[in-house]
Amino acid sequence: MALLDGGLARLFGAALGGIYRPATLYRVTQLRTRGGSTAESVAERPCRAQLEAASEAMRPAGVAAPELRILVLAAGLGDPITTDDRIGLDGEIYAITAVGRDPAGALFDLRARRA
């Protein structure tokens, strides 16, 4: 049962870690302050990711800015990636617009655009 409890994600992480490039996941949390305003807290997490161009099917009609597909190894991330988070890869920061997951739980499949 170890494979079903995150072992498969660790196995893929070890196998693909050399292929995927170093990246930084920026975990964004909105904190409510006194008076009702909000402040943003950002925690950086190292990860491994691969950037791919998005297909036309992934891009909503009328959107001029290209959306990209980013695959992120789940091993070592702990919490799931959300659309509140951002990711840095190859000197660019991307805003995450959608998050998917492969059936084995080894990868996060992100749609993102340059922030």
Residue 3: pLDDT over 50: no
Query: pTM here?
Result: 0.74
pLDDT tens digits along 8-65: 556 555 555 568 899 999 999 888 888 888 888 999 999 999 988 655 555 566 665 5
Buried b (16+ CB within 10 A) or exposed e, 14-38: eebeeebeebebbbbeeeeeeeeee
Q: What is the mean pLDDT of residues 85-95?
A: 95
Residue type, 112: A
Q: Which is more confident, 19 or 89? A: 89
Count of positions (residues) in the chain = 115
